[in-house]
Amino acid sequence: MSQSLREKIGLIPEAGWRPYREEAEVICEGTELPWDPVERKVGEVLDEVCYLVIRAWRRQGELFGDGVRAKHFAVVTNRFDFDTKRLLEWHREKAGSIEALHDVLKNELAAGVMPWARFGANAAWFRLTVITHNVLAGLNRVALPPEYLRPRPKRLGFRIFYSSGWLVYQARRL
């Protein structure tokens, strides 16, 4: 979290915080912070963004392990169609999904190692890995049986693509 964002969060009045979610030990509150730190060039048009700020504090008034009373977290969004609580819940629902996609792209579809020293060639390589992922996802949904609905590309490779035929030995003949 940048120092300027931390200072802006400190200016939020106590009445601006709304309950977001409660856990056994921690209470979380949320609010919108109408602040855009991007310095625009003359004539430049960018999408509007909004900072959603979460304040977490201990139920019993205890300090966190690092000695602070409350911790603050920020989410930047360009969606304005939900209220603050629903938007934070929507972002939490997505948590982990993009990381899982990055893991598949990097570790199973070779997007983690760029093969060339040129930016354009590496960008094309990355686009090809994303296209490969999309084709495999479409193949899973349309053409494969239900047990292959959520397999990783490596499993699909071993179960389908690498086993196009079987070598059979019978009576000492191939």
Tell me the β-bridge partners of 29.
Answer: 19, 55
Looking up tokens 């969606």, which residue turns up?
79
Looking up tokens 């966190």, which residue turns up?
64
pLDDT at 125: 93
pLDDT at 164: 65
CA distance 80 to 87: 8
CA distance 81 to 127: 31
pLDDT at 122: 92
Structure confidence by residue, pLDDT tens digits, 94-114: 766 777 888 889 998 988 888
- Residues contacting 19, CB < 8 A, separation 6+: 27, 28, 29, 85
pLDDT at 46: 75
Both ends of the chain: CA-CA distance in Å? Answer: 66
Q: Return the H-helix or E-strand segment holding 125.
A: helix 119-142
Residue 128 pLDDT level (bands cut at 50, 70, 90): very high
pLDDT at 127: 93
Mean pLDDT over 120-129 rounds to 92
CA distance 136 to 131: 9
Q: What is the mean pLDDT of the chain?
A: 83
CA distance 32 to 13: 12
Find the helix packing angle between 97-108 and 119-142, rounded to 10°.
110
pLDDT at 77: 86
Q: Supply the DSSP string of 91-105, one letter for each residue.
A: HHHHTTHHHHHHHHH
Structure confidence by residue, pLDDT tens digits, 2-52: 888 888 898 999 998 988 888 878 888 999 887 777 767 777 777 788 888
Structure tokens at 136: 């495999």
Residue 131 pLDDT level (bands cut at 50, 70, 90): very high
Q: Return the number of other C-beta atoms located less than 10 Å from residue 110's C-beta.
A: 15
From 87, 94, 103, select the one nearest 53 (Cα to Cα). 87
